[in-house]
Amino acid sequence: MKIHQSVRVTVVRKRTLARKPTKKQRLQRLQQQQQQPQQLQKQVTSTSSTTSTSSTSTTTTTTTKTSENLFFPQTLISSCFDIPASTTSTTSTSSTSTTTTTTTPICPSRIYSQSFVSGVYSASLCSAWTSFVASLTCSTYKSFTLSGTYNTNGINATNSVVVNAIATALRTSSTYSGTSNGVTWYVGTCGGGMELASTAVCACATGYSIRPCIGDLNWGGVNSATCSGPSQVITLSFQ
**pLDDT band, residue 166 (cuts 50/70/90):** very high
pTM score over 0.75: no
Q: What span, in angstroms and rounded, lies between the C-alpha atoms of 214 and 193?
A: 6
pLDDT in tens, 34-59: 766 565 555 544 433 333 333 333 33
Give 150's contacts (C-beta < 8 A, 6+ positions apart).
Answer: 221, 222, 223, 224, 230, 232
pLDDT in tens, 60-99: 333 334 334 434 444 433 443 444 444 445 455 555 666 6
